[in-house]
Amino acid sequence: MDDGKHKIIPKDYYKVLEVEYDATDDNIRFNYRKLALKWHPDKHKGDIAVTAKFQEINEAYTVLSDPDKRLEYDLNGNYEIDKYTLG
């Protein structure tokens, strides 16, 4: 029975970037670059799914590449990316 409440499952940014949870900054940067090249929208013109994947990769890198954001993400299991990217 649907009670009208939906649980939001946080994204696993480590899985998005295909790195281990104890990944170094260099590992994160290397995988980000590899995935960004693979999923860049210019290589897949008009594919909305690719654009969404690319945005997800960028979001993950934004959090995991910043020590403060990564710590907050690691401690809380999620990260409110919107509070840092909006207005």
pTM above 0.75, yes or no: yes
The CATH architecture one would assign to domain 13-79 is Orthogonal Bundle (1.10)
pLDDT tens, position by position, 13-41: 999 999 999 999 999 999 999 999 999 99
The full length of the chain comes to 87
Q: Who wins on pLDDT, 77 or 7?
A: 77
**Phi and psi at residue 31, in whole multiples of 5°?**
-70, -35
Please give the radius of gyration of the chain, using alpha carbons only, rounded to the nearest integer.
15
Structural domain spans, the chain? 13-79
* pLDDT, tens only, 59-81: 999 999 999 999 999 988 766 55
Cα 47 from chain centroid?
Answer: 19
